[in-house]
Amino acid sequence: MSTNSQAKKSANPGPLGLLGFGMTTVLLNLHNAGIIELSIVIVAMGFALGGAAQIIAGITELQVGNTFGGTAFTAYGFFWWSLCLIWINPFKPAVNPADETAMGFYLLLWGIFTLFMFFGTLAHNRITQIVFLSLAALFFLLAAGDFTGNHSIKTIAGYVGIVCGLSAVYSAVGQVVNGEFNKTIFPL
């Protein structure tokens, strides 16, 4: 069949966004769990894959009419960019660095947004529900850890975040592989 007679197929931007979210979330939460130190590795991944890749996926989702995917990927892409800015604080000395209370409110707001987005996933597949529910739990645990100064809560949050990130990577891989074979190889 010639390429002229084939209908143009739209690509699915979801796996790119999920991969950007998932891999970056795993990496950051290896830090939160106390396994690795916060370093430029996490900041660079947050800026590039967590931020830029998700923003690209989100804008592409909006262009194909997917409000949920577009909102999620674009918002969480900008979450990563804002988090990188918080860590680097290029505005000092004019702007004070974030303290635990400010970070607690920052993470609490993201948790509330994520919880509302979770309700939207009830119209989606099970793995998407797992990603958003575990992400909401992650944000709420991190906020509680900052508000209380309890490092153990942050460590627990780190392990929840690793599960969250790995579930997003699984969803990305599942969508790509299932799409390539036109059948369910990775149940979602």
Token pair of 14, please? Answer: 């979801």
For residue 75, give the 3-state DSSP assignment. Answer: helix
Phi, psi values for residue 95, rounded to 5° = -120, 130
**What pLDDT, on the 0 to 100 scale, is given for residue 1?**
46
Task: Say which residues have a Cβ less than 8 Å from residue 141's Cβ, sequence separation at least 6.
Answer: 153, 154, 156, 157, 160
Token pair of 71, please? Answer: 């909102």
CA dihedral of 173, 26, 70, 118, whole degrees rounded to 10: 100
**What pLDDT, on the 0 to 100 scale, is given for residue 10?**
84
The pLDDT tens digits along the chain (188 residues) read 445 545 677 899 999 999 999 999 999 999 999 999 999 999 999 999 999 999 999 999 999 999 999 999 999 999 999 999 999 999 988 899 999 999 999 999 999 999 999 999 999 999 999 999 999 999 999 999 999 999 999 999 999 999 999 999 999 999 999 999 999 999 99
**What pLDDT, on the 0 to 100 scale, is given for residue 6?**
58
**What pLDDT, on the 0 to 100 scale, is given for residue 4?**
52
Q: How far apart are CA 164 and CA 56, in angstroms?
A: 21
| pTM, two decimal places | 0.93
Can you count the helices (H) and strands (E) in the chain? Answer: 7, 0
**What pLDDT, on the 0 to 100 scale, is given for residue 164?**
98
Q: Which helix (H) or strand (E) holds 163?
A: helix 151-181
